[in-house]
Structure 1
């Protein structure tokens, strides 16, 4: 049977390693942040401890065998439900939250490793996860920035704004519109409109167009964003 000291150490280490990954996600303001990652890692460690040591008192019973992996295996599949909750389908072909979902799945594995006493594997995995989440991201942006869509988000007064005039301003600034998404706003007289630009849209042109759009009739708010996975 595992000692009380080992139980406390393993649970604390799991919470600590989960918080390290959670801090990176919290910094980017994701719903699954510090507390979520800590809970996933801590809970996984507890499940692993229970799976490996929680039934040791019945091992001497005839015809009873113990498979420590059976309960732990449910964490790997069960964490998928939590990960699915972090994935957002913003619109067709645009999905966000996959990286956070993958991080939760990895943190669950870290918790299982700590619960099993594999501290080195857990620490190395946490370190590599941080590298993937924090340090690889700038490299990914530099290499694949040309594949990202640029989006102008606007809140328009429905009766005043002209979509055609807005599109003309964008075209005059060499910004070509690939798609327009219109949704009803929070107020009855407003619409939330996204102008999804072609991938060759230059940031300087977007800034210049935004200055002109500020003076366009019916435009209440303008926001700029890049799509990220």
Structure 2
């Protein structure tokens, strides 16, 4: 059985490592941010400590055999419900998969810290942070730019929705990666609509812009072929 200082140290380390990953999600304004990642990491670490050392007082009893991995195994599968809650599906737009994966990874970091595997936990934290923060600019520069094209519409208030967009473009022909509607800062009677389309060729994109401009309620249409999307 480890001492109280070591026990508290592991929980604090788990909170620290979880905060590093959570801060990256928090700065992007995701629902699962700093506090959520810290709680998941500390909770997983605590469960690992309970699994490994919580039943030490009964190990001396006759015919008592315990598996220290039993609680940890349940954490790996049980964290899925929290990850599923961070995934949003709006029509064809799926968001939150990366955050769900980071929550699952942070749970693994907590288990590693609870088990005393500090090198593995710190190394995993660095690798995950590089994947989340360091790889995104490269993805935008070399992958998303070639696969995604963006359109910004200025429309009459409430005249454009995801359903009307699908009816105009056809649900099977174009993949809408992102659809954001917000009130125009210049005119409260108008909406700014940002649309990100993926897997669209230059010729298809030109035809799409023509159809979007012809939609009822559209006042202006601006398109940008160089913007990447959010993961």
Quick check: TM above 0.5?
A: yes
Cα pair 2:83 2:100 within 8 Å, conserved: yes
Q: Which moved more, 1:145-154 or 1:7-16?
A: 145-154
Provide the residue aligned with 1:173 in structure 2: none
Deviation string 1:175-229 (CA, Å, 9 cap, x unpaired) is: xx957999x999xx9999775657456xxx9xxx9xxx8xx96759x99985433
Give the SS at the match of 2:79: helix
Give the TM-score normalised by structure 1. Answer: 0.73
Q: 1:193 to 1:138 in 2, by over 3 A?
A: closer
- Rounded to whole Å, the distance in 2 between the matches of 1:200 and 1:117 is 52
Provide the residue aligned with 2:48 in structure 1: 48
How do 1:138-149 residues align onto structure 2 when only pairs under 5 Å count? 138-144=137-143, 145-149=145-149
Give the SS at the match of 1:150: strand
- Rounded to whole Å, the distance in 2 between the matches of 1:63 and 1:39 is 36
- Rounded to whole Å, the distance in 2 between the matches of 1:179 and 1:20 is 34
Deviation string 1:57-112 (CA, Å, 9 cap, x unpaired) is: 111122211101001111100111000111111222x3111111110000000000
Q: 1:223 to 1:113 in 2, by over 3 A?
A: farther
- Rounded to whole Å, the distance in 1 between the matches of 2:75 and 2:88 is 22
Deviation at 1:152, TM superposition (A): 3.1
- Rounded to whole Å, the distance in 1 between the matches of 2:196 and 2:139 is 21
Provide the residue aligned with 1:228 in structure 2: 230
Q: What stretches of structure 1 of length at least 5 have no aligned partner?
A: 168-176
Cα pair 1:11 1:45 within 8 Å, conserved: yes
Give the TM-score normalised by structure 2. Answer: 0.73
Q: Number of aligned pairs?
A: 202
Deviation at 1:151, TM superposition (A): 4.2
Cα pair 2:154 2:190 within 8 Å, conserved: no
Provide the residue aligned with 2:75 in structure 1: 75
- Rounded to whole Å, the distance in 2 between the matches of 1:195 and 1:127 is 34
Cα pair 2:150 2:194 within 8 Å, conserved: no
Cα pair 2:14 2:38 within 8 Å, conserved: yes
- Say yes or no: does 1:116 pair with 2:115: yes
Provide the residue aligned with 1:127 in structure 2: 126
